[in-house]
Chains A and B, each alone.
Chain A
Amino acid sequence: MSEVHEDFDHNASEFRADPLPYYKQLREAGTGQSKNYNGLWYVPTYAEVTAMAHNTDGFSPAQGTMFPPMNDRPMLPMESDPPLHTEYRHMLMREFAPKAVAEWAPTIRETARSLLEDMFKEPPFDLGLDYAKLLPTAVICKMLGITFDPVFQQWVEDSVYRRISHPKEAREATDSVYSMFRELLPDRRANPGNDLVSLVLTSEIEGEVMDEERVLDFCFFLLVAGLDNTNFTIRALLHQMAIDQDLQKRLIENPDDIPAAVEESLRFFSPVIALGRHATQDVEFAGCPMRKGDAAVMLFGCANRDPQEFENPDEFDIDRFPNRHVAFGVGPHRCLGSNLARVEIAIAIEEVLKIFPGFKLAEGAETRYDDLGPLIVVAAE
């Protein structure tokens, strides 16, 4: 057992504050077991992460993917196995596939503009808190066909952003969101529309519609799955553009380069640090003897800095080709919302650049990485 793994904890604040040195050591040692979380295995390299993600027979997400777990209900469709998982994806893919998401683009742009307008009304403002954080919630609410209001935003924030620092409040907020969906279901069942809640309510899985509890698990996860990740990426890329004015200038002059900048931000900042699996049988993986039921997490951010896959991995380079990062995971569980997230991030950046070309960090702006990503107060020039 290698020493670096033994004490490693992916939630430890020293690691979160400065992950790169840990990543390097972990990758050099390869997959190994920690003393934490009942002997959690950490899977650090690009090749190992990819191998585990593709091995759905050997490793299952159905017994939980987060350590510690977010709550005691399954996150669907993520925490399920084939053939059920295949049916779930099939049900949802139409709404999240490239073409369907492109149809949402005008709505996303309108939403971004109106958030920016509101933000202007109350200076000073923070593009992170007053814009980046609100956009993904506003958009997914529209897709789910539910009302986006301040109370709701608060519940979502508490359940997503405070789940580690304030587990009790987060839990209460999660319950409130579940209750909100529970109250809305009878009416939606009677009057289904073109929204995701109606889709989940009316779709047949294994030949019949799903019971209410399972429908609620879908509603909750579809709501929260992408919020902090998308927000984090928007903030991180805005921050990168504020500290690298050449990059910003290039994206203003060549908006066609924005999608490449979005991909590189996903690789470079990798908002999802770790998601896990359980071994379905005794197995040797990457030379390690894993027992049936052992938990292992794939370190996506670590794999995205693997020099075996990426040249100069610690450089932010939007011309990188190919850029086959695993920020969205890979394999059958690869992020269902990835196209949506890409479009949201790109539009969020485009709209800021239209209004604030040449934006900079405000004097004394705090740029710390916490659950929310870098905090950025922006000064327009």
Chain B
Amino acid sequence: MPRIRFIESSGAEHSVEAEAGSNLMVIATSALIPGIVADCGGNCSCATCHVYIDDAFLDSLSEKSSMEGDMLECAFDPQPNSRLACQVTVGEDVDNMVIRIPERQF
């Protein structure tokens, strides 16, 4: 199984095994990663599951919808590599992908 590395804004790191095809927000919240709040439970309607994705892996992830793009503009400090974790499905080839967690979600 691929391993994903979550890094908090403080630098604290958590390495988590992820099954290909699973949802990034579910992976993070099941592993109790701090800082991924995911208030709405995956409905693309709260913007509190905001993460920064390792550039090298951006293209390998499920595509960003226009709704997700709009929600991301409502989050704190969105960057070109921002995604809402609940809208991301991870593939086979994400071993060692680094996900950075923003300083704040709300």
Using a CB–CB distance below 8 Å, which chain A residues touch chain B? 50, 53-54, 86, 89-90, 93-94, 97-102, 321-322, 324, 328, 330-332, 334, 338-339, 342
Contact = CB atoms under 8 A, between A and B. Distances in A.
Given A94-B74, A321-B34, A331 B39 contact: no
Interface string B62-82: 000001001101111000000
Contact of A97 (B29, B41, B75, B104): B75
B74 A93 contact: yes
A93 B43 CA distance: 13
Contacts of A94: 70, 73-74
A178 B25 CA distance: 41
A102 B74 CA distance: 11
Interface range, B side: 20 to 34
Contacts of B71: 93, 97
Interface in B29-83: 29, 32, 34, 39-41, 43, 45-48, 67, 70-71, 73-76
Contacts of B70: 90, 93-94
Contact of A331 (B41, B47, B74, B106): B41
B89 interface: no
- Dominant SS at the A interface? helix
A98 B76 contact: yes
A322 B32 contact: yes
A98 B47 contact: yes
A334 B76 contact: no
A338 B45 CA distance: 12
Interface of B: 29, 32, 34, 39-41, 43, 45-48, 67, 70-71, 73-76, 104-106
Given A93-B47, A322-B29, A332-B40, 10 more contacts: A50-B41, A53-B41, A93-B45, A94-B73, A98-B75, A321-B34, A322-B32, A324-B29, A334-B39, A342-B106
A289 B76 CA distance: 45
19 contacts: A50-B41, A90-B67, A93-B45, A93-B74, A94-B74, A98-B74, A98-B76, A98-B106, A100-B74, A101-B106, A321-B34, A328-B39, A330-B40, A331-B43, A332-B43, A332-B45, A334-B40, A334-B43, A342-B106
A277 B72 CA distance: 30
Q: Which 9 A-B pairs have the closest CB atoms?
A: A97-B74, A98-B106, A334-B40, A330-B41, A332-B43, A339-B106, A97-B47, A99-B76, A89-B45
A334 B41 contact: yes
Contact of B41 (A54, A99, A321): A54
A14 B71 CA distance: 43
A258 B55 CA distance: 35
Contact of B39 (A53, A90, A100, A338): A338
Contacts of B34: 321
A334 B105 CA distance: 16
Contacts of A93: 45, 47, 70-71, 74
Contacts of B67: 86, 90
